[in-house]
Structure 1
C-alpha cells in the first residue's frame, strides 16, 4: 500500500507539502516479539533471523519534546544482536520498566520492540515543545536518550540515572520507515553523504570520540601512541581515524592482511596482524602475550602506547594492561569476548596506569564528532547495505562477525547513493574515501 508522506519525502517535498500529507497510522519496521523470548533456550546457534521480523506496526502518539522522522536508512549495531537473542536480558524488561513512568513511558511497553539505534532521515512531524527543528530538516539520530529534567544530565548526559540507549532500552527505534526520537537526539545530516553513509556513523564514531578525545575519556594529545584493537570493526574503524586526525600515532591490531590494507589506506602506518604473533592455542590470553605484543609495538613505533583503545574484553584485557606505558591509560567501553577480565594488577599499580570506563556519549560529543564528519575529516566505514526486508540478514552478518566496518539497512530510501546534498564537496574529498570498506 502506497504512503503519500513517504513518497513526498523521497521527492524532496517542502515543509508545507509534507505537512499537507497525512501521517500514516501504520508503517513497516523490524521488531522482536515478547512471546518469543524463550525460543533460543538450550540452543548454541541463536540465529537472529528467527527472532527479527519485518511487518506493519502502529504509529505511536507523539510527546511534546519528540519528532517523527521518516527514516531513509538505519545501521546495525551489536545492541540489535543482543535484543534479537534476548540477552543478557530480554529488552522487553527495559520497556516494562520504562512503561511504569506514566503515559510517556507506557507507549513503549508493547508486545513488540522496534529496534535500531542509528539512522538518518527527514523530520515529518514535531511535538508542540520542539523549538529548534522543523518539518523537512534532514537529520541523523543520536541513540543517547536523556531526560532533560534529570539534574545529572546538566553535568554530562551519561551521568543521568535515567539515560537510555534509544532503540535498545526504548521502543520506536530506527529500523523502520518511521521512528520516534526526542529533539535532543537530532543532528544535522552531513551534506556530502548518502542516506546510508550518514546513518552508519553516530553510535560508533561518537563512542570512540568520547573514549579518545572528549573530556571524559583518555584525552588524547598530539603524538600519543594509541593501540587500537579490532581496527576495522565498527568502533576501531573510527578510532583509527580520530587518532590520526588528532595528531596521534595509531597502532592498529587486525586479523588479516586484507584488513591491514584497509587501515593503511585510512592513513595508519603501523599495523599488527594478531595472527602473526605466534601465541598458540591460548592466543592473546597466553601469559606471554603482553610481552610479545609489546615487542611488536615497540618494533613499529619505538615506545609503548600511552593509550589502549579497548572493547574486546576478556581475550585482550590482560595484554592491554601489560602493554600500556608507565602512567598510561586503558580506556574500555565493552567486552565483546567476555565480561570477566583477568590481568596482573602489579603492572597496573606499580606502573601507575589507569583504567577508564567509558559508555556511550553525550549530545555534545555526538554533535562534535558529526561536525568532523561534516567537514570531511572523518569518513564513514560502511561495508554492506541491505533492504529493510533483509534486516534479519544484516543483523546476522554482525552477529557472526561476517562484516567489517558498518552494516546499513535501507528503510525509506529506494536505492543506495541517494541523499547527497553537496556533490561538489564529495568530489573534492574523493569518492574512494567513502568506499574503503566496500572492496
Structure 2
C-alpha cells in the first residue's frame, strides 16, 4: 500500500495528503488487449479467465480532472460485458477515444481498468478544478461528458461525445486510484459506509432518469409500474423510487426468497414468474402477455401505466403487450438479447410509447444522491469482495448469483468504515440500510 493510501485511511488532513507523494503505480483490476478473442467458440465465457489484478502506471491528469483514492467500488453488468469482450471489445472504445486528442490518447493502452461505480477521497485536483478539493469524500457519476459540447447544456446524455466512464474510458473504479472529470464528483452520503455508498450511483440514477426525470417516463402519483427483476441492481432501486414517488410498484422476481425480500423493502405487489405456468419458453411464450396481464390486474385492478424494462429479448414483447392503453415502456438495456420482437398492433392501436433511456446526466445523478443522502432511498448492497477477488465478484454478477449490488473493498481495509453521520443512520435504521445483506 502506498503512503498516500495509508494517509487517506488514517484520516490525514488535506495538507498532509497534498504533501504525500502520488505513487507512480497502483493496483487495479483490468482486461488485456492481447486476450480479446479468448472466448471464441466457448459457451461459458468465464470472466475469471480475462479479469486480472496487478500493478498499473499512474496516469497524468488533465486540468479538469481529479485523482480519487478509491475506498470501495461496485460491479455492474458493463464490467461483465467488458470482461467477455462483448458486444464489442471495449478496446475499440479506447482506440476511438485515443484519436480525440492528447487527453484521450492516455486511455488507449494495452490494458483497460474497469469499473463505473465508486466512492473515495479526492487526493489530487487539476489546475482547472474549482468546486472540489483534496480531502473531499465523494461518490462518482459514470457519465463522462465534454462540457464544451453545446448539447451538454440541454442534456449531457444527448452529446455525441458522451462516454460511460470505466467502460468506454480507462482508469475506472476497480482500483486503488481512479481518474475522473470534476463534473463526475458528488458528495458522499454521510450516513453510509464506503461500500454502501459505492454501490448505488449507476443503478439508482439510471432508474431515476427512466422513471422520474424529465427525459424518461415522468411517473405520476398513483401510476402502476411493472418492474422486471425487482431485486436486481436496477430493479431494487426502481421499486423504491416508484414507492417513494407515490406510484404503485409491481415487481417480477424469480423465487419466493426474492419475493419475500422485495416485500420487506416495501413493495406489496410481487409476481413470482415461476408460478405463472409459462413452460420452458418463459416470457417468449405467445400467451405470456395475457397471463402476466391477468396476474397484474388481480393484484392492482388495472394494467401498468409504465413498464420498467431492461431485460430485452426475453421480455420485451410481453412488456409491450401488458402496458396500459397510452402507457409507456421505458428501456435502458437488453441483458437477455438486443433483438426484440413484439406485435406492433399492441403498440400503435393502443397508443403506447417506447422510451429509450441511457445512463443519466450530472443533475439527475446529484438529485438521486440527494434522495439517498436524505435516507429516502437505500442501498441494496448484498455482498462485499476485495480487490484481489474482483474476478470472483464479477463472476457472481455474470451468473446472477446475487441480489441487489455487489461491492469491492479497494483501499478500505475493512467494511463499515467512512460513516460520518451516525445519528441519521440510527434514525433510518440498520434494517433498511442492510436489508439486502440479510
TM-score (norm 2): 0.99
Deviations 1:131-170 (A, max 9, x none): 0000000000000000001111111000000000000000
Per-residue CA distance 1:72-119 (angstroms, 9 max, x = gap): 000000110111111111111110111112210110000010000000
The alpha-carbon deviation at position 281 of structure 1 amounts to: 1.5
Aligned to 1:156: 155
Report the Cα offset of residue 282 of structure 1: 1.2
- Aligned partner of 2:427 in structure 1 is 428
Q: What residue number does 2:192 align with?
A: 193
1:280 corresponding residue in structure 2: 279
Give the structure 2 partner of residue 132 of structure 1: 131
Distance in 1, matches of 2:42 and 2:222, equals: 48
Which residues in structure 2 correspond to 1:347-426 (within 5 Å)? 347-426=346-425
The residue matched to 1:414 in structure 2 has which SS?
coil
Note the 1:19-418 alignment, pairs <5 A.
19-418=18-417
What are structure 1's unaligned runs of at least 5 residues? none
Q: What is the SS of the residue equivalent to 2:39?
A: coil
1:343-381 residue CA offsets vs partner (Å, 9 max, x unmatched):
111111111100000000000000000000000000000
Once superposed, what is the RMSD of the aligned Cα atoms? 0.6
Q: How many angstroms apart in 2 are the aligned matches of 1:97 and 1:320?
A: 35
CA distance in 2, matches of 1:283, 1:96: 40
CA distance in 1, matches of 2:250, 2:86: 33
- Offset, 1:255: 0.6
- Between the aligned partners of 1:115 and 1:38, the Cα distance in structure 2 is 18
Cα displacement (A) at 1:435: 1.6
Q: Distance in 1 between matches of 2:279 and 2:4?
A: 58
The Cα shift of 1:12 comes to 1.1
Distance in 1 (alpha carbons) for counterparts of 2:377 and 2:364? 14
Moved more, 66-75 or 10-19: 10-19
Q: Deviations over 1:316-354 (max 9, x none)?
A: 111111111110000000111111111111111111100
Q: What secondary structure sits across from 2:234 in the alignment? A: helix
Name the CA distance, whole Å, in 2 between partners of 1:52 and 1:143: 20
Alpha-carbon distance, 1:42 to partner: 1.1
Pair 1:10-2:47 in alignment: no
CA displacement at 1:412 relative to structure 2: 0.4
Residue 312 of structure 2 aligns to a residue in which SS? coil
Q: How many pairs were matched up?
A: 438
Moved more, 65-74 or 334-343: 334-343
Distance in 2 of aligned mates of 1:57 and 1:321: 46
How far apart, in 2, do the equivalents of 1:39 and 1:314 lie?
26
Moved more, 101-110 or 68-77: 101-110
> Partners of 1:240 and 1:251 in 2: how far apart?
8
Q: What is the distance in 1 between the residues matched to 2:127 and 2:424?
A: 36
- Quote how far apart the aligned CAs of 1:269 are: 0.5
Partners of 1:217 and 1:101 in 2: CA distance: 30
Provide the C-alpha distance between the structure 2 equivalents of 1:342 and 1:248, rounded to a whole number of angstroms: 28
Q: Partner of 2:26: helix, strand, or coil? A: strand
> Does 313-322 or 134-143 show the bigger shift?
313-322
Q: Matched residue of 2:83: which SS?
A: helix
Q: How far is 1:280 from its partner? A: 1.1
Offset of residue 283 of structure 1? 1.2
Aligned-partner Cα distance in 1 for 2:325–2:83 = 42
CA distance in 2, matches of 1:35, 1:340: 30
- Find the aligned partners of 1:42 and 1:317 in 2 and give their Cα distance: 28
Alignment partner of 2:335: what SS?
coil
Q: Distance in 1 between matches of 2:176 and 2:313?
A: 38
TM-score, scaled to structure 1: 0.99
Q: Secondary structure at the match of 1:234?
A: coil
SS at match of 1:355: strand
Q: Structure 1 residue runs of 4+, over 2 Å off? A: none
